[in-house]
Amino acid sequence: MAQSTFRIFFSTGAWLVLAFLLLPILVVIPVSLTDTSYIGLPKEGLSLQHYAAYFQSPGWMAATWTSIWIGLVVAALATAFGTAFAIGCWFLSDRASTVARWILITPILVPPVVQSLGFYRFWVTLGLIDTNFGVILAHTLLALPYVSISVFAALANLDRRIPQAARSLGASVWQTVRAVVVPAAIPGMITGAIFAFIVSFDEIVGVLFITVRNVTTLPKKIWEGIQEDIDPTIASVATMLVVLTLIVTAIRILRK
Amino acid sequence: MPRFSDKFRYWALVLPALAIMIVFYIWPLLGIWVISLNEPVVGLGNYAKMADSNAVKTSFVITFRVAFVTTIGCLILGYIVAYAISNFAGRVKPLMIALVLLPFWVSVLIRSFSWIVLLGRSGIVNDALRGAGIIDSPLRLMHNEFGVVLAMIHVMLPFAVLPMMANMRGISSSYVDAARGLGASEWTAFRKVYFPQTMPGVMSGALLVFVLSLGFYVTPALLGGGRVLMISEYITYQIQEFLNWGLGSALSVTLLVATALVIAVAARFVNLRSALLERG
């Protein structure tokens, strides 16, 4: 079949746009291997010095672990609360539960700086500033919309007559939820948990407002690095995260 | 009686999440309104000061302009991608979708860092152009609106592509086929028959990108270098540099109201439920 200009325009255009999405992300890779002490492409040869600097820096290591464990706690909490919420709303499916669902997604729409201001003032009165718990609470709130949306989407495929059948055969509400609804919600829970982890792992504005010196997450460390001195260590951290993302994405494509 | 107690149990599932959201999120958000009316003195002083300030006006103009240009850019680029994926991607479709989603998983902070590395005074683009002898002195590619908009389009593009793709999935090819069969050219069939059907997706994408751009902080703050002061950065400036909580809160309330107005206006063109509440 002959390629029309119409098709050529859209196909070429699409690949150019996809290149625009991908290539800028990849520049961190050569930069991380630079043999210079400033940000730039390698001059005389490749060097792993900035990776060594990352792994030998107690500050970077501590920030990485903090982000990982806080992300895991947030994923667990948000998935538990968000799944219960979505299942309850799915059963109710009335006007009040729709209002509740709208309330739960407000964090998606409110500008990050505005919500962080709110967090800061309230966390001061609660004594949560610069505590791990304060960060976990804030991140759980920000992650809840994603969990509730993905679990609700998973339940859209569940036939309402199945839990009704379970109930009429004598199962209690809890038994029905456990044996019928939760299994149907699992794909949504997994997506939601991954989203929740990433929301927490990447979150920066809230952390800038509600932490001082005690709690430092990876994004905060990167932010400070960019603000103060642009240090190629950031490029090595960025490269590891980008390569990890590429590997996960490649595995997912190949498994399809 | 049993129906009532069932309902009670369902609400017991809903309530924990709803309660923490209201107590720890909605309540502090309302607190900002109170601060804007109470500090440093009770009254509308902060709002009067805000309305008088040229700096605030400039910041709002910049914010809306950047958000608008970003939205237009994302819609044009995003449409091309969504169209190609939906209509003739064939075997490479999963790869193309993965490339759209990939930036989603890389944090905004790292993507902004990449743009700094590319666009800086001695960044890769300037070095390459100088090395090739095309320019003598470095171009100013960031610390201006150009750099901010470029990086923001990069960050926001997936938010435009996904709703458009979801919409295009539901469009039957028979209408375009009929138009072609009746003698319309490929372009005419696209323009008159296909494009109008994709408007709901375009509008959802526009709403998401515009609303997220209005309140965006990280990329403008890093790529703008203090010269493209969007309202979110202006607010942090007021609070962190001048400890001016009253004005900062009044600005926050205004940004919040502006965002709500945009959504309210968009509700006339967009099915908010499917755009926000039920996106997969």
pLDDT tens for chain B, residues 1 to 280:
455 688 888 999 999 999 999 999 999 999 999 999 998 888 888 899 899 999 999 999 999 999 999 999 999 999 999 999 998 878 888 889 999 988 888 999 999 999 999 998 878 888 888 888 888 888 888 889 999 999 999 999 999 999 999 999 889 888 999 999 998 888 999 999 999 999 999 999 999 999 999 999 999 999 998 888 999 999 999 998 888 999 999 999 999 999 999 999 988 888 888 777 776 4
Interchain pair B106, A25: CB under 8 A? yes
Single-letter amino acid code for the residue at B87: N
Interface list for B 145-204 with A (CB within 8 A): 154, 157-158, 186-187, 190
CA distance B61 to chain A (A): 17
| Count, residues in chain B | 280
What architecture is domain A59-216?
A: Orthogonal Bundle (1.10)
B243 has a chain A CB within 8 A of its CB: no
pLDDT digits (tens, 9 = 90+) for A165-207: 998 998 888 899 999 999 999 999 999 999 999 999 999 999 9
Contact residues, chain B, for A155 at CB < 8 Å: none
According to DSSP, residue A78 is labeled: H
Interchain pair B276, A109: CB under 8 A? yes
* Ordered domains of chain B (ranges, CATH): 1-38 (no CATH), 54-278 (1.10.3720.10)
The alpha carbon dihedral of B4, B9, B14, B18 has a sign of positive
B261 within 8 A of B61, measured Cβ to Cβ: no
User: How many CB pairs below 8 Å do chains A and B form together?
Assistant: 251
B134 has a chain A CB within 8 A of its CB: no
B45 has a chain A CB within 8 A of its CB: no
Place of tokens 């990890």: A244
How far, in Å, CA of B160 to CA of B168, rounded?
13
A252 within 8 A of B98, measured Cβ to Cβ: yes
How do the domains of chain A map onto residue ranges?
22-56+235-256, 59-216
Number of other CB atoms surrounding residue A171 within 10 Å: 16
B127 has a chain A CB within 8 A of its CB: yes
The alpha carbon dihedral of B193, A10, B114, B162 has a sign of positive
B88 within 8 A of B82, measured Cβ to Cβ: no
